[in-house]
Structure 1
Amino acid sequence: MKRILNCCTSDFNAQPGAEELFAAMKASEGRTLLAEVAADTVPLYPDVTNAELVSAFGADLILLKGYNTEAHSVAGAPGEGGYKHIKLLTGRLVGVSLEVVGNPDIENPRCLTQKTLERVRDADFLCLTGYDKPDVDKQTMLEAIKLAQAYFPGFLMVAKFYAKGLAEAAEYAEYISAGAHAAVIPAPGSCPGSREEVVSRAVDAVHRAGGLAMTTISSSQEGADPETVKLIGLASKRCGSDVHNFGDAGCAGIAAPEAIQALSIAIRGKRHTYVRMASSILR
């Protein structure tokens, strides 16, 4: 695979190997943009899915949040097919987020279990998402990585969130050492205490462990004005971020479209942004 910046739909057709996708992101030198889409949320505009909308405004990759692995459906998409159908509509790589919970035997099609992993084996990438809950700690996440490795063959991201702000830098590195390919870290200015020097330490720790660092705007600043988003994006790039992630709490289950475009232009300029926006899915 070429670097993500130069990929088009034909490069994204097959499920990429984990190392292949890792190399494509790394080669893009901090200019890869991932946008989350709340799978069950009614689209901002009913004539088009939210996944198509974020693609049109510059996203390279799409992560489906709250995805029902049993129904395999995405709000606004005609018919069924879930992430496979979204990939056909957008020509992008499409991944799935599964929530990590304390009870791995829970019967929830949106949470991480052996059963849900087996249902999404051919997704382009997988994100293990752990929220700030009493029964979800670092050890829970490490066990989740082990489970995911056993049933999912592709690229693996880990996102552990804390209400207090960032985790210690060493924690993000542990996720890489345990087998994840990338760790998600709050972007500068996106949560309490997320100063550039703190985020930089976490990014550096992930890099030393051999992983990719993904900075995320996921505290409702997905709906901030474009100028604020640009500042956050440039700060993330100064910290060494490999991938810039946009959460789904901007408007109607996605980041504000104009914020996606603003972030894209800030981190890689109009050339790569406009090419991504305009490139046909027939290429």
Structure 2
Amino acid sequence: MSRRVLNLTGRELASMGAKDFKEAVKASEGRVVAAEVVVTASPLVDGVSNVEIASRFGADVLILNMYDVLNPAVAGVPSEYASIRGIAEFTGRFIGNNLEPVDEGLIPEGRRLTKVSVIRSMELGSRLVVVTGNPGLGVTWGRIAAGVREAVDVAGGRALVFGGKMHSGGLRVEKMYELPLIEEVLAAGADGVLVPAPFTVPGATPEAVESVVSLASRYDALVMCTIGTSQEGSQREVVRSIALHSKACGCDIHHIGDSGYSMGVAVPENILELSLAVRGVRHTYKRISMSSLR
């Protein structure tokens, strides 16, 4: 029987292989929390990095946004821990990074999804490559599917590959929950798909999210429900409602974005609220209190 993420120590989270982690997520029955962090943003609190804050408020998984794999650095983290493997050791968490399937010249090459950036992500220790787009870049489902296919080919099972959207990204010609488009991503070999959580974008009904969960199950893929529209800075009651509806829809991983008081990390109390909503005090306090020496 697979171990659950709920029972993993920080050392285990920091070192577990991609395939085993996927099984551990499945075994956790919708009780895994992921926090996204903009690595270029100044720390919310002086003397401690945003990746540390996200970890200590309940995240099991950290997704590094705007992480340049050709020039690795994370604001507030000592340079000797700047690799993705180093961040895993530094925080005791399962670490991944975003790569964006956009045209050359729009963003730094170390953030753009290419064969080189995926290879470099693997060299730096990434175990989760998330193919997605930041606001204003107009990333389509087709580009995401193509990016997933390339990432899967390069990663070769060494990292999980997720693909999807947290928001429209400035593109209004595609429906967010268009199942044939999402199926292209799954058919490309994605280990998981990400879609906006209920109530986070126009049309984000629980029924729409449930339809994606049903589709993903046919591909043995995970579903990450995302809060990526600055509601990570909303009242705790809003975050709690989103979390519970996501869990009811069948989401495997509950994601909270990086826009809190400013761009960088969610309001820390809302990471905690999300964790409490989907798994209660027992597993939340275990995650935030466990010694790094275990």
TM over 0.5: yes
Shift of 1:55: 0.7
Distance 2:134 2:47 in 1: 32
Shift of 1:46: 2.1
Q: Give the counterpart of 2:218 among 208, 230, 246.
A: 208
Where does 1:169-208 land on structure 2 (aligned, <5 Å)?
A: 169-208=179-218
* CA displacement, residues 29-52 of structure 1 (integer Å, 9 cap, x when unaligned): 000000001010001012101011
1:155 match: 160
Specify the code of the residue in structure 2 equivalent to 1:66: M
2:101 match: 100
1:236 match: 246
Shift of 1:130: 3.0
Distance 2:207 2:117 in 1: 38
Is it true that 1:143 corresponds to 2:146 in the alignment? yes
Specify the code of the residue in structure 1 equivalent to 2:237: E
Specify the code of the residue in structure 2 equivalent to 1:7: L
Equivalent residue of 2:79, what SS? coil
Distance 1:85 1:113 in 2: 23
Distance 1:154 1:15 in 2: 11
Q: Would the aligned equivalents of 1:61 and 1:93 in 2 still touch at CA under 8 Å?
A: yes
Q: Pick which of 124-133 and 176-185 moved more.
A: 124-133
* CA displacement, residues 185-240 of structure 1 (integer Å, 9 cap, x when unaligned): 10111000111111111221112222111100110001011111001100111111
> After TM superposition, what 4+ stretches of structure 1 lie above 4 angstroms from structure 2?
103-107, 131-135
Q: Pick which of 85-94 and 57-66 moved more.
A: 85-94
Q: Would the aligned equivalents of 1:183 and 1:211 in 2 still touch at CA under 8 Å?
A: yes
Equivalent residue of 1:123, what SS? coil
Superposition RMSD on alpha carbons, in Å? Answer: 2.0
Distance 1:244 1:220 in 2: 15
Distance 1:119 1:2 in 2: 29
Q: Would the aligned equivalents of 1:190 and 1:218 in 2 still touch at CA under 8 Å?
A: yes
Q: 1:177 to 1:52 in 2, by over 3 A?
A: same
Is it true that 1:115 corresponds to 2:116 in the alignment? yes
Specify the code of the residue in structure 2 equivalent to 1:112: L
Distance 1:145 1:91 in 2: 27
Distance 1:221 1:134 in 2: 20
Is it true that 1:4 corresponds to 2:15 in the alignment? no
Distance 2:142 2:209 in 1: 22
Shift of 1:105: 11
Q: Would the aligned equivalents of 1:3 and 1:27 in 2 still touch at CA under 8 Å?
A: yes
Specify the code of the residue in structure 2 equivalent to 1:118: I
Shift of 1:135: 6.6
Normalising by structure 2, what TM-score? 0.90
Shift of 1:100: 1.3
Is it true that 1:44 corresponds to 2:44 in the alignment? yes
Q: Number of residue pairs matched?
A: 282
Distance 1:15 1:27 in 2: 15
Q: Would the aligned equivalents of 1:64 and 1:94 in 2 still touch at CA under 8 Å?
A: yes
Q: Would the aligned equivalents of 1:215 and 1:236 in 2 still touch at CA under 8 Å?
A: yes
Distance 2:97 2:152 in 1: 15
Structure 1 stretches lacking a partner, 5+ long: none
Where does 1:51-90 land on structure 2 (aligned, <5 Å)?
A: 51-80=51-80, 81-90=82-91
Q: 1:242 to 1:68 in 2, by over 3 A?
A: same
Distance 2:189 2:55 in 1: 29
Q: 1:134 to 1:261 in 2, by over 3 A?
A: closer
Structure 2 stretches lacking a partner, 5+ long: none
* CA displacement, residues 130-169 of structure 1 (integer Å, 9 cap, x when unaligned): 3576873232222111211222231111123425562313
Q: Pick which of 126-135 and 194-203 moved more.
A: 126-135
Distance 1:134 1:6 in 2: 38
Distance 1:56 1:223 in 2: 18
Equivalent residue of 1:157, what SS? strand
Q: Give the counterpart of 1:264 among 275, 280, 287.
A: 275
Shift of 1:14: 2.5
